[in-house]
Structure 1
């Protein structure tokens, strides 16, 4: 018995080094479905030759191992493309042409990210309405146009929507507010018009924090008062044509780290505002019609890194002390009668 055991150990000691040097066999190499391969090749063929690397279309390799493609259990669940340098499984390509409809045939897709594609044009195809499992939707810095797709309201799993630095037109669909998991909406730097729907985040699952960026559009009207009950960590509505009150976005216990409302036509009494004490880092209210004064409660904010109320109708002495010791007059100039450091002394 001892001799047999010794023989087994000897064979194992010989075989182990050989096993270590055998080529790795991708566990999902046979699992990439024909449906997904067909959709990816149609996507590739929508663009000029040599846009994609040779690995794309290699029949000997699972499509799960093509650059920019991510899989779960052999199904394509993510696509990531950028014209920037290669990082973290994102394929660096320059996509020139219209947005391909074939992406809609990737029925297991949960994430798509297309960034820095200035030559990608046209509207988002209606065939993408089949991507009902999508959780993360990002198109950043491209020339896509047309409206915000209405079919997005059918993506019940959608958590983050980002279509910014593009050429979207039309209004923001109120139906986006039907999505209980949609906690981040970024539609900044487009050409959107109309008012901000009061339905946004109205059905957001309790306990979820929200992010909203609608900056640099052509939005008009008032900020919905319903936003006062939303737990925003970030609100960026600057560079629009918004009017009316925005004081309900503030609150001592709110989680906001960034409130950017500059360059609108907002009008409210800043004296009555309580600033988010624990989390507020950036507050920009410049170029509005805001009146009143900067109240002493601003001194309680723990880590305020930027504060700008220039070009408004504020009066009174600028508070100092605690955590608030402003140094730059540019952040306070062109008000009705603000005074004290860093502006000239009060009379």
Structure 2
């Protein structure tokens, strides 16, 4: 009986004490700014886990660095999130990754406070309704390795300051409403020339001759209104691997382009105004993607290499091109 009374007394004492709080990893300043971001987005259901009742390192779309316990990544995919990107996003100083994707109700422009993020490596704002010009201040984020602003409604010209990003490896500006030409500065990147994707815009004008100084690896200029001679991108001293120049207004004599780097494995030139004949040096390339249809080419298709690997759709609708896989000359 005494033992039972003692046990009951211990239980009563334990129940009278306050329960210990959950282990808090997340920095309080980071938590405060995340809650500001949630409020700016209209407290959406997609961010319902963002409450003070739990550690913000465990919140949906949030990641903390395992060593510093500071917010290192903010990745929000889809969800009924509306409004503008809040300025508070620039108050998360340890952010390395920002991904805001498939948020069709996200509008406005990129806030200038983002330049305070000196550790930011990946910036992806894609499939949103952001509009206006791409801000030149993005060139100040020297830590960026990947910049993806594709599938938005950005207008205006491409800021030349983007060439000042020394660590940039990938640049996606495709699927916007950008105008003007490719910047002269893209021939003089501060660091290694990144893979560049500018397709599905309203770019026009002649490709700058300065681009001959750059050594591109991946380049997509397709579905624009660009003109000029593409020989600036090729030569035995280049290392370009894949290039898509289709559906533009390029007009030049292909016969004069007889030097290609051995690295070239994908070349798409369809729907342009290219004339002349196909150079025989193309047979020395291991082309995995190849299309010259809808141009003004003439003469016999060189035999050899991978040129006969493709069916007639890679060659048809030219002025007088002939030979396998087209009818004999």
Q: TM-score category by the smaller chain?
A: 0.7 to 0.9
Task: Select the residue among 198, 219, 228 that pairs with 1:214.
Answer: 198
Task: Select the residue among 73, 78, 91 that pairs with 2:73.
Answer: 78
Task: Select the residue among 128, 134, 137 that pairs with 1:142.
Answer: 128
1:66 counterpart residue number: 59
Q: Quick check: 1:274 aligned with 2:259?
A: yes
Q: Contact 2:187 / 2:212 at 8 angstroms: preserved in 1?
A: no
Cα distance in structure 2, aligned partners of 1:246 and 1:50: 48
Q: Contact 1:299 / 1:322 at 8 angstroms: preserved in 2?
A: yes
Cα distance in structure 2, aligned partners of 1:150 and 1:234: 23
- Shift of residue 42 of structure 1? 1.1
- Shift of residue 281 of structure 1? 3.1
1:129 counterpart residue number: 115
Cα distance in structure 1, aligned partners of 2:50 and 2:258: 56
Q: Which has the higher strand share?
A: 1
Deviations 1:109-147 (A, max 9, x none): 121111112221111122323223322111111111111
Cα distance change on mapping 1:99 and 1:152 into 2, 3 Å = same
RMSD: 2.1
Q: Quick check: 1:314 aligned with 2:297?
A: yes
2:16 counterpart residue number: none
Q: Contact 1:44 / 1:52 at 8 angstroms: preserved in 2?
A: no
Cα distance in structure 2, aligned partners of 1:100 and 1:133: 19
1:250 counterpart residue number: 234
TM-score in terms of structure 1 length: 0.82
1:301 counterpart residue number: 285
Cα distance in structure 2, aligned partners of 1:287 and 1:321: 24
Secondary structure, aligned partner of 2:149 = strand
Q: Contact 2:98 / 2:123 at 8 angstroms: preserved in 1?
A: yes
For residues 24-43 of structure 1, the aligned pairs below 5 Å read 30-43=24-37
- Shift of residue 54 of structure 1? 3.9
For residues 37-186 of structure 1, the aligned pairs below 5 Å read 37-61=31-55, 63-72=56-65, 73-83=68-78, 93-186=79-172
Gaps of 5+ in 2: 1-21
- Shift of residue 211 of structure 1? 0.6
Task: Select the residue among 290, 293, 297 that pairs with 2:274.
Answer: 290
- Shift of residue 160 of structure 1? 1.5
Moved beyond 6 Å, runs of 4+: none
Q: Quick check: 1:202 aligned with 2:188?
A: yes
